[in-house]
Structure 1
């Protein structure tokens, strides 16, 4: 009963448009005061500070900075040009180009919103200029941007690893195949709709054109190889990789001549602003997570699930349902911070691999990025597409179904995500 009351108060404040970070922290404060446990509020500053001081979390600001540098430094144009030469001639044309370019760019930024706001503007303009209806184009852009945090590197994986103490390197590798599967599923959806909707396509590019665009995009294409190769070989950690990614992105921007010294202050300011917003959520959510553990909510849920005779598959369906609902009201990072202190104590009870669980959770919050009223990718794309949130959300439905299908497949066939980390780093005993 207490669990329902806590989350009921939290959702009520969110529906009243209280900022996410404030709503999370205030919910815990309200229940401490209401239960006469005011003395425990002395833990608030300590838990907020502790929640943002993990070494792994240092990767977040640098991956954010790397994405912003890539968007400003002209790298996105080169990636889009290469993807267009590769798949622009397939039925569904520029829709496939948007998905493939997002898959490539996702190996650099690790943020869905960064992909949507940066590369997304190039994708949307090209599709509209090519004859696509603005709503169709915007839906493809928003949906494709969700591949970003699944294919490594990934800010959600960094956050998940910091909360659960799971290897970030294994999480990065585990996201590769599901991320590619997401892209393929979206391309299938686009291909099925291309004929009935009359989606235009390009002329087939010559081998010389493909080679030219590949050369133009060669150094950006090396970014994921540099990051993942360095992590898996042990040359540097995931946190150090984020710094290298940011430096590499800056070097590319200056080398191409698209990034100037005068561009750095606004880029750094935007990156700082985004980091502070996320860290504030992490700080208050850490206090909320400690509050749920103090109230023994995970223990009560374990007892209830055990008494009900819940199986592993039952629990996974429960998780899927809970996160899909929360995704309509909460930012994905907030969902991680609120639910993982509970879920991570229950998963061992059902012998669920925490690396695969991280992939499934990340896929679920990507669906949340496309569901109103708090779909972050919807807002990022609508800010320049100007097609309306609800029409955009409705147009995203086929891609939501595609992502959900991949999510369910990964949830119940763990080998899809675990094959690559087990191959590269060995199976965990």
Structure 2
């Protein structure tokens, strides 16, 4: 255990990327101990990515990239301005609502920060907000990406923990709403404290138009349900509803109805059993292509090729982390390190609420130093046996794990959202870190609520019949 974990930590301190640190420490352990032939390293790494659910990774990444180049981010921003821009601290509220909508398409915090963040930070600075405040609210709202479905971390966790990815997706809806409300309350506090006004004049016409778009989107699944109850097949009902929706969108030229439909299609399709979460990622790509090539006609072959190559690059880095982490996690189990750590934790407490407190502290710490995907693949084999032994629902724990790691994305030394926003806003990492600190309060409050009120996570999956 000392060779495996000690060499891994030493390599991290020397500045090696986390994936290389795990791969090299694993090879060193196998070489020194002679517990397995060297070829086992390659075999276990390949086995780590031979998984059907992992196909969702490149497709969700591609969907997020396509949304960014299809002009969807600008339309989402305009819609959010019409909906909440008239509030005090309006553009900060717009920042949060825009992230909520974009979260239903991209599934990653980094895509949210890099896509909408560029538009949001510039607009807030142009309206007189400090760069630090703009960066802080953008960073906090970006954490919604992997909580509100779809979510790449949920895909990885579902594969590692052998739990329903669809149930994890549904489990993230109510926690995402709670996080959104807490962030909006925080903006209202800063607006009251600093005497900020609105950034967009109140207009019944604009508000009514935005409300109409939301109503149409919400009416879509209701209309499909009624048609199914009336005896139409599911495919026919969805086809008719989509035809009506497209006709309304073409006639009234709504700003964001078709973009808002992305999360409805994904969640609705999985709930109705039309496709699996992995197939939902393909559906997200098809919908993104439809918006960019047909509806908005803002996508060119050049931008499509760029989005594809960006996806290949990102997917390669993610899957390399998964392969390295899979062999590292396997050796943790084989070397009994995971069992030793499990026994040590159980020796401290066997009360599930105390364990959840300790787990939160551990995951928050790990999230500051290790990439999200790698952290999931390392921590799940160690913590999941304890979770199951203490009677904690693995879906509930998946939300806790993911939210902790999202908060870790805002911290140095390895917080990717921190570095993305520092680059976008042209701020130093130190100033960006200070700007983010006040936003840890609503995020930690949300973490406490989600940790100690399991029904916030489990009620919706149970109601929809995808969890016990």
What is the TM-score of this pair, normalised by structure 2?
A: 0.88
Q: Are positions 1:348 and 2:348 aligned together?
A: no
Assess if the C-alpha contact under 8 Å between 1:95 and 1:127 holds in 2: yes
Aligned to 1:244: 283
Q: In 1, Cα distance between the equivalents of 2:197 and 2:431?
A: 21
Assess if the C-alpha contact under 8 Å between 1:378 and 1:393 holds in 2: yes
Assess if the C-alpha contact under 8 Å between 1:370 and 1:396 holds in 2: yes
SS of the equivalent of 1:220 reads helix
Q: How does 1:195-234 map to 2 (within 5 A)?
A: 195-212=192-209, 214=213, 215-234=254-273
SS of the equivalent of 2:464 reads helix
Q: Are positions 1:149 and 2:189 aligned together?
A: no
341-350 or 240-249: bigger deviation = 341-350
Q: How does 1:59-208 map to 2 (within 5 A)?
A: 59-208=56-205
Aligned to 1:316: 356
Assess if the C-alpha contact under 8 Å between 1:131 and 1:200 holds in 2: no
Provide structure 1 residue ranges, at least 5 long, that are not aligned to the other structure.
none
- Write out per-residue CA displacement over residues 347-406 of structure 1, whole angstroms, 9 at most, x where no aligned residue: 111111000100010100110010111111111111110111121111111211211111
Q: In 2, Cα distance between the equivalents of 1:301 and 1:291?
A: 13
Assess if the C-alpha contact under 8 Å between 2:108 and 2:152 holds in 1: yes
Q: Are positions 1:412 and 2:410 aligned together?
A: no
- Write out per-residue CA displacement over residues 7-59 of structure 1, whole angstroms, 9 at most, x where no aligned residue: 4432332232201110111122223333343x443211111111111000000
Aligned to 2:235: none
Q: Are positions 1:28 and 2:26 aligned together?
A: yes
Q: CA shift at 1:312, angstroms?
A: 0.8
Assess if the C-alpha contact under 8 Å between 2:167 and 2:466 holds in 1: no
Distance 1:48 1:85, change over 3 A: same
Provide structure 2 residue ranges, at least 5 long, that are not aligned to the other structure.
214-253
Aligned to 2:323: 283
Q: In 1, Cα distance between the equivalents of 2:197 and 2:377?
A: 43
CA RMSD of aligned residues (A): 1.6
- Write out per-residue CA displacement over residues 255-303 of structure 1, whole angstroms, 9 at most, x where no aligned residue: 2121112211111000010000000000010000100000112322333
Q: In 2, Cα distance between the equivalents of 1:208 and 1:346?
A: 55
Aligned residues: 425
Aligned to 1:330: 370
Q: In 2, Cα distance between the equivalents of 1:366 and 1:32?
A: 32
Q: In 2, Cα distance between the equivalents of 1:245 and 1:228?
A: 11
Distance 1:310 1:257, change over 3 A: same
- Write out per-residue CA displacement over residues 220-242 of structure 1, whole angstroms, 9 at most, x where no aligned residue: 00000000000011011001110
Q: In 1, Cα distance between the equivalents of 2:181 and 2:7?
A: 40
Aligned partner (choices 387, 398, 401) of residue 438 of structure 2: 398
Q: Are positions 1:359 and 2:357 aligned together?
A: no
- Write out per-residue CA displacement over residues 104-128 of structure 1, whole angstroms, 9 at most, x where no aligned residue: 1101110100010011101111101
- Write out per-residue CA displacement over residues 75-119 of structure 1, whole angstroms, 9 at most, x where no aligned residue: 011111111111112222111110011001101110100010011
Assess if the C-alpha contact under 8 Å between 2:84 and 2:94 holds in 1: yes
Q: In 1, Cα distance between the equivalents of 2:63 and 2:207?
A: 26
Q: In 2, Cα distance between the equivalents of 1:324 and 1:102?
A: 23
341-350 or 363-372: bigger deviation = 341-350
Q: In 2, Cα distance between the equivalents of 1:7 and 1:381?
A: 32
Distance 1:40 1:128, change over 3 A: same
Q: Whose Rg is larger?
A: 2
Assess if the C-alpha contact under 8 Å between 2:346 and 2:386 holds in 1: no
Aligned to 2:461: 421
Q: CA shift at 1:210, angstroms?
A: 3.1
Q: In 2, Cα distance between the equivalents of 1:208 and 1:118?
A: 28
Q: In 1, Cα distance between the equivalents of 2:115 and 2:306?
A: 15
Assess if the C-alpha contact under 8 Å between 1:379 and 1:389 holds in 2: yes
What is the TM-score of this pair, normalised by structure 1?
A: 0.95
Q: In 2, Cα distance between the equivalents of 1:386 and 1:198?
A: 27
Assess if the C-alpha contact under 8 Å between 1:130 and 1:200 holds in 2: no
Assess if the C-alpha contact under 8 Å between 1:82 and 1:210 holds in 2: no
Aligned to 2:334: 294
SS of the equivalent of 1:357 reads helix
